[in-house]
Structure 1
Amino acid sequence: MQRRLGDLDSSEPPEDSLPLRVLVQAMVIVGIIAVDVSAADTTDALGVSLWAVPMSAVGGAWSWSRRRSRNIPVKFCIAIAMLIALAVFFVRLVAERNDTRMALAELLIQLQVFHSFDLPRRKDLGYSIVIGLILMGVAATLSQTFWFAPLLIAFVALGIPALVLDYRSQLGVAPKTMRRIRQSLPLRPLVGVLGITLALGLVIFAFLPRLPGYQLRAFPVSAPIQFEGQFDGGTIINPGYVRDGRASTGSGMGANGNVQGGPGEVDADFYYGFNRQMNQNLRGSLTPKVVMRVRSQSEGFWRVMAFDRYTGQGWEVSRDGENDVQVLERSPWTYRQILPWSVTLNQTREVIQTFTVVADLPNLVPALYEAKELYFPTRQIAIDPEGALRSPIPLSQGLTYTVVSEVPFRDRTQLRNATTVTPSNITDYYLGVPAAIAPRIRQTAEEALAKSPTPITAPYEKALYLAQYLKQNYRILPDLPFLEENEDLVEAFLYKYQGGYPDHFSTVLTIMLRSLGIPARLVVGFGAGEFNPFTGYYVVRNTDAFAMTEVYFHKYGWFAFNPIPGGDVIPTSVEESQVFAALKKFWEWIAGWLPSPVSGFLNGLLEAIAQGFGWAMSTLTRWFTQGWVGLLTGLMGLTVAAFLGWLGWSGWAAWRDRRWLKSLAPAEALYQEMLRWLAEQHIRKAPSDTPLEFARTAQQQQPAHGELIHQIAQSYVTWRYGGQVGDLSRLRQRLHQVKQKGRSLPARFRGPSRRKVPS
């Protein structure tokens, strides 16, 4: 029959399997929706799925109906549309140099929608599967919440039968209609494969090391933001705390009260400490809500600002003028802002953090202390003498920025031996205590230190002891009365109420240390938040904001202490490894359900294993860093360890196989032992062979032992299908004699395997 000119070339037959097309189209739709959902975590929702999903479905239906035609005009239109999309992509690429993932995702979605109108062959469907997979990868890099997980499961659930149908289509046995899909794809095996895939994926994900990322210096940053006006750096904008009805400068006031103190109520959404003045005579609580998500190489305290002057009922920043706050301006060609940071004698570690703001925040930029680089969308940024970063604009929902911090290690030995000599720029601002309370506070602090079983002389140990002393001897009072007009917060805490609000503990510790001549200041910020091991982000809420005490150690810098009950005295430091963070979180969750004795034993066991692993790694590191001799010693040690591991594994595998053979019936154990021996001679039984068919094949390749092979196979068949047991001891003895004499063919070593050879 003569072929029409418009028909598809018969050398490349069209794909006629409707179920395969439907599954591929569903995978692409899931990929498009995943990008849209994930993009909403970082920026405004793209809304691309509103048009891309129906257009892609229309294109798929068109391709099915026109799969046997050349569609030359449609191909030309598709090519033109793709070129236009590519041109738009390059324009966006120049305009959005900060983060090209969104532009790339939209380009892929547009290309797939255009491509969906021309899917005649199986390889075209394969391209669609690849694009869907790429879209899921882009969505994974954008996702910051758990919403990506069900979409990933849906994509895998669709992908498994799609790959099965694709393979069957290559064999020519794929179902042509949806009615035959159930016969072609049994549900139970597919569900089993999906369950195994998910379980294996979770195990791999849990044990996957979290190695430090961000090796490239192209960090996520929001699109450039133009600030109109003069930025002097002195303004702090806290939307929850206004003056005269204007949210222009943070005053530290509540609903009622004055700047320096006085009763008032806290704002339910915004932490009261993010202001130039911090009035601690406010009462009330925050309504929990997520304010930002943080991806960081290390957990830490997201520091916002610090205060140096105590007012009696709160704190304030004394150096806040134009001559004190430094305004920095970056180059228009880069988002990188170099920040001034202090040099310390301590060992430091570079930690990179990316912050995504979820709810409106003041114009103070949270970061790990001490920040040295900032990638921020505004051209200007300010830094005050306390190290707080200030933006020209409030941090609004959807804003993303990255901070590179040089975080010092907290070496207790070094800090304990730090010199007590303090420069004047420290003593002038961080030793102030109101004269009316100074003698009494000093006496209380000394009496507390005197209760230590051993004398305490080092400032570091004093700070540590007093923080623990406040935790154990004073209480959090949720119904604390307002302070009177001239009443001092620290005196009321220590002598009148024996406790106070959580932040009051840090104020008391700061003043107690100052009374002893130890420089200290109050620092406020956000706790690390709740770590989500599935997304890798720390979810930070407004209720995670609190105050701590920072203590100065000459030539080593500032280090925080937390005296608030319920928290660790020493905040999380960079010394704690985050490599197996997900596994650690999973274990903490499981241990919470176990009885204390069991969890304690397992904790001790895991700790011993970790210590042994750490010792081995430190030993190898020491060897490999000692020149050629150390290198050879390390290689020798690794070789010996590998050999001992191989011996142990081989011995355990052999014992396991012997135990498995003993668990079988005698006839089956003998037959399996023969199959193992023949497999070592490269004579392997095919799953489709019966025992007697395989015996005939083996006899031809092992004629010297053909009779023995036939008798063992015959005895196995007689036992399995007739229930009769012959003289197995004689056959077993003959098989062992043959194995002892050696194999007739040169055998390649094969380690013991527990996998049962097909019978």
Structure 2
Amino acid sequence: MSTALRQRFQQLRFPKTSSHAVALVEDSVALRVSVQALVSVGILATDMAAATGNGLWAIPLSLMGAAWSYRQRRRRNLGAKIGIAVGMLLVLFFFLSRLVTQLGDSRVALAELLIQLQVLHTFDMPRRKDLGYSAVIGVILLGVAATISETTAFGGFLLLFLAIALPVLMLDYRSRLGLGAVKQQISLAPRRLLGVLLTVVILGLTIFALLPRLPGYQIRTFPVSNPIEFQGQFDGQKIVNPGYVKGDPSQAGEGGQTFADGAETGQLDSEFYSGFNQTMNQNLRGSLTPKVVMRVRSQAEGFWRVLSFDQYTGQGWTISRNDNVKTLKRPAWSYRFFTPPTVAQGQSKEIVQTYSILADFPNLIPALSQPKEIYFPTREIAVDLEGSLRSPVQLEEGLTYTVISEVPYRDRTLLSQATTDYPAKIQPYLQIPVEIAQPVRQQAEELLSKADQMPTSAYEKSLFLAQALKQNYTLQPNLPPLTDDQDLVDAFLFQYEGGYPDHFSTTLTVMLRSLGIPARLTTGFGSGQFNALTGMYVVKNTDAYAITEVYFPKYGWFAFDPIPGHALVPPSVEQNQTFTVLRQFWNWVAGWLPSPLTGLLSGLFALIASAFARLSLLSGWQGIVTGLLLVVGLVFAGWLGRLLWRSWRYRRWLSTLPPIVRLYQQMLKQLRERGLPKRSQQTPQEYVQQIQQQSPGLADIVAEISHAYVGWRYGGRPANLPYLRQQLRALMKMRSRSVK
């Protein structure tokens, strides 16, 4: 059939379709398959991150729709379009209905809406731009999965998505320009694609490591689990630790004090930390089996505080005012609870934390200090006098909640100037058994007397005593159980000269009380292992321990950690979190380097950081000029480095060539810089003819060198290298004169 007849047949078959619209119909099967694979990866990534199960039905249906759409790509398909429009309206209606009833995070609902719309869209994709819409939906789904994912498994989907996206972009470009016209220029060879993929991955990881970690959560809709309905009357006094009591919280005794078998026999439960209960028995022995408890996404690293104790019992701690708790209720239309405000002077910073529980946990809600807003799925929670948060139900695997804390900055100068005029409400934090008060005080004063300069303020005394316990007492994992008449602090100081990790914090707390400094014991979790790829802290049960919190009038409670091997002060907002990823990467690299080299590089980085810190203090025109000069200097240094790098690579490449080939390539470089490049498809003789036409003055020298190169390469004839080098130098001088 002739071309004219074929075109006429198309016009008769599609009388209302313009020739332009027909031309836009996408016939590339490879492009369609690649786009569909791209969308499938986005669906699977979202399904993995949110565990929605959408991939089980969405991917097969979208494949069916894509196949049908390809077969019907040149038809009008009015019936299908009407059906798709109705389906999209129904999907939108169900989405809006769900959005009204769902109080918390709406990202999963939005992702499911996109998946449903994409499945409907696959049944009508005749044109190239329709495929572009699908590709954009795939990118959006991957972005949603990135914000929801809490593990590094997302990295595999990201690499797979990138590996598919590169050929999709190339195929789309080829389709736009015409496949035959660009077949030579755009190659889809696996080796070429792999090289581009590796380049993009390396550049992406470099940018990711150097990118500042700026504070997120600029909206007030935070991740929270679905609502949890609690049956019965909520008693905020009950604390239920599965390591102490099994079963229903309502079956626990007075204050939740029913003990499990291990607690009765003096042995620790192997899964649950014993410090999360109304009474903390520090005469228990044993160790925890490591298990991941939760993941935390936080704007700052910190100590995930759980519970505080005010009364020392001689072999542990208890909450003496456990009956004085306040029940908080939230409105039906919001997950947000407001805690009673705390009045404290000094600067503070708002820190948002999102907790994902991965294992059964007591009905206690971990949070950074000074929580002010809690987004929790139950209708009620409770807060005690120590600021600890309690839930009506035990925290189970899969639960997610968010806390906003107003964390105070730790200003050593201000805290050292704090008065010792303590209010009456602080008296419980000065309680100490009479029989050990005098010897403990004498031991504390003896330790303080060893300071080069005797500490006078409560803050400096707390800091020095915490450090003194680290240096003068040792961890003893095989400490025998105490007898009924033994006191833990007395045995720690005068008999064993050490003990379990939590015994250090108990001893520091009692020591400070003996000096008239209000202190309490607080249990919680260390920050855990930071995952630079997910941006989350992975917290295990073995990260749980106790610290000492000291009260400073007008400023509130601040923590000290006397446990050997721990930082003297737990991490908090005084540390800059902007370059956390880069710092974590450096810590990982430093672990593999020799200590002298690590010290040298650390000193260099500190010097650079100090220089930037000084520059940041400049303001006005001086700061602007300095900044501009710095930017210009960096750009010039980068340009110069690139030139030197290219020059070094070129010289290295020349050194690997035979002498005549090296001389011929040097000639081509000189001519290329003069504006006479040799095309790849030209033979040396054809290039000589080009030079004769464009620059006759250079033709003789170019012809001599070219003929010698051809004779050596194809005829094996030796070349007169000294003469040819002399001719090359003459060519370079002719170029110099021409430039002048």
Indicate the TM-score class for this superposition, using the shorter chain for normalisation: 0.7 to 0.9
Instruction: Say how many residue pairs are matched.
Output: 705
TM-superposed deviation, 1:490: 1.2
Question: Which residue of structure 2 lines up, in the alignment, with residue 755 of structure 1?
Answer: none
Question: Which residue of structure 2 lines up, in the alignment, with residue 29 of structure 1?
Answer: 40
8 Å contact 1:661–1:669 — kept in the other structure?
A: no
Question: Which residue of structure 2 lines up, in the alignment, with residue 191 of structure 1?
Answer: 194
8 Å contact 1:60–1:116 — kept in the other structure?
A: yes
- Residue 130 of structure 1 pairs with residue 130 of structure 2: no
- Residue 170 of structure 1 pairs with residue 181 of structure 2: no
TM-superposed deviation, 1:635: 2.2
TM-superposed deviation, 1:429: 0.9
Question: Which residue of structure 1 lines up, in the alignment, with residue 577 of structure 2?
Answer: 578
Q: In 1, Cα distance between the equivalents of 2:319 and 2:380?
A: 21
- SS of residue paired to 1:120: coil
- SS of residue paired to 1:429: helix
Structure 1 spans left out of the alignment, 5+ residues? 40-44, 624-630, 742-759
Question: Which residue of structure 1 lines up, in the alignment, with residue 522 of structure 2?
Answer: 523
- SS of residue paired to 1:134: helix
Amino acid at match of 1:151: F
After the TM superposition, which of the residue ranges 665-674 and 16-25 deviates more from structure 2?
665-674
Q: In 2, Cα distance between the equivalents of 1:729 and 1:190?
A: 42
Return closer, same or farther for 1:541/1:731 CA change in 2, 3 Å cut-off. same
Q: What does 1:27-106 correspond to in 2, within 5 Å?
A: 27-39=38-50, 45-106=51-112
Q: In 1, Cα distance between the equivalents of 2:526 and 2:360?
A: 18
Amino acid at match of 2:22: E
Question: Which residue of structure 1 lines up, in the alignment, with residue 593 of structure 2?
Answer: 594
Question: Which residue of structure 1 lines up, in the alignment, with residue 434 of structure 2?
Answer: 435
Q: What does 1:234-383 correspond to in 2, within 5 Å?
A: 234-242=237-245, 248-249=251-252, 251=256, 254-256=259-261, 263-321=265-323, 324-383=324-383
TM-superposed deviation, 1:420: 2.4
Q: In 1, Cα distance between the equivalents of 2:553 and 2:685?
A: 86
TM-superposed deviation, 1:295: 0.7
Structure 2 spans left out of the alignment, 5+ residues? 655-661, 713-718
After the TM superposition, which of the residue ranges 293-302 and 243-252 deviates more from structure 2?
243-252
8 Å contact 1:8–1:68 — kept in the other structure?
A: no
TM-superposed deviation, 1:139: 0.8
TM-superposed deviation, 1:677: 5.4
- SS of residue paired to 2:305: strand
- Residue 404 of structure 1 pairs with residue 398 of structure 2: no
- Residue 221 of structure 1 pairs with residue 224 of structure 2: yes
After the TM superposition, which of the residue ranges 164-173 and 270-279 deviates more from structure 2?
164-173
Q: In 2, Cα distance between the equivalents of 1:450 and 1:465?
A: 10
Amino acid at match of 2:220: R
| CA distances 1:566-604 after superposition (whole Å, capped 9, x unpaired) | 211111121211111111111111111111111111111
- Residue 616 of structure 1 pairs with residue 627 of structure 2: no
2:622 pairs with one of 620, 628, 633 = 633
Question: Which residue of structure 2 lines up, in the alignment, with residue 626 of structure 1?
Answer: none
Q: In 2, Cα distance between the equivalents of 1:712 and 1:643?
A: 43
After the TM superposition, which of the residue ranges 285-294 and 131-140 deviates more from structure 2?
285-294
Amino acid at match of 1:12: V
8 Å contact 2:431–2:513 — kept in the other structure?
A: yes
The percentage of counterpart residues that share the same residue type is: 51
Q: In 2, Cα distance between the equivalents of 1:687 and 1:672?
A: 14
- Residue 107 of structure 1 pairs with residue 113 of structure 2: yes
- SS of residue paired to 1:212: coil
Return closer, same or farther for 1:648/1:100 CA change in 2, 3 Å cut-off. closer
TM-superposed deviation, 1:106: 0.8
Q: What does 1:732-747 correspond to in 2, within 5 Å?
A: 732-739=732-739, 741=740
Return closer, same or farther for 1:737/1:667 CA change in 2, 3 Å cut-off. farther
TM-superposed deviation, 1:642: 3.9
Q: In 1, Cα distance between the equivalents of 2:709 and 2:566?
A: 67
TM-superposed deviation, 1:163: 2.2
Q: In 2, Cα distance between the equivalents of 1:659 and 1:193?
A: 23
8 Å contact 2:668–2:678 — kept in the other structure?
A: no
2:234 pairs with one of 231, 244, 257 = 231
Amino acid at match of 1:58: M
TM-superposed deviation, 1:539: 1.0
8 Å contact 1:561–1:570 — kept in the other structure?
A: yes
Q: In 2, Cα distance between the equivalents of 1:688 and 1:737?
A: 31
Return closer, same or farther for 1:722/1:470 CA change in 2, 3 Å cut-off. farther
8 Å contact 2:22–2:74 — kept in the other structure?
A: no
- SS of residue paired to 1:563: coil
Amino acid at match of 1:529: G
- SS of residue paired to 2:431: coil
**TM-score, scaled relative to structure 1:** 0.86
| CA distances 1:187-208 after superposition (whole Å, capped 9, x unpaired) | 2111211222212211111111
Q: In 2, Cα distance between the equivalents of 1:243 and 1:103?
A: 36
Provide the alpha-carbon RMSD of the alignment.
3.1
8 Å contact 1:347–1:408 — kept in the other structure?
A: yes
Q: In 2, Cα distance between the equivalents of 1:126 and 1:529?
A: 42
Amino acid at match of 2:578: V
1:12 pairs with one of 22, 38, 50 = 22
**TM-score, scaled relative to structure 2:** 0.88
Question: Which residue of structure 2 lines up, in the alignment, with residue 627 of structure 1?
Answer: none
Question: Which residue of structure 2 lines up, in the alignment, with residue 757 of structure 1?
Answer: none
Question: Which residue of structure 1 lines up, in the alignment, with residue 658 of structure 2?
Answer: none
After the TM superposition, which of the residue ranges 14-23 and 606-615 deviates more from structure 2?
14-23
Question: Which residue of structure 1 lines up, in the alignment, with residue 465 of structure 2?
Answer: 466
8 Å contact 1:255–1:266 — kept in the other structure?
A: no
Return closer, same or farther for 1:418/1:667 CA change in 2, 3 Å cut-off. farther
Amino acid at match of 2:508: L
Question: Which residue of structure 1 lines up, in the alignment, with residue 451 of structure 2?
Answer: 452
- Residue 549 of structure 1 pairs with residue 548 of structure 2: yes
Question: Which residue of structure 2 lines up, in the alignment, with residue 201 of structure 1?
Answer: 204
- SS of residue paired to 1:264: coil
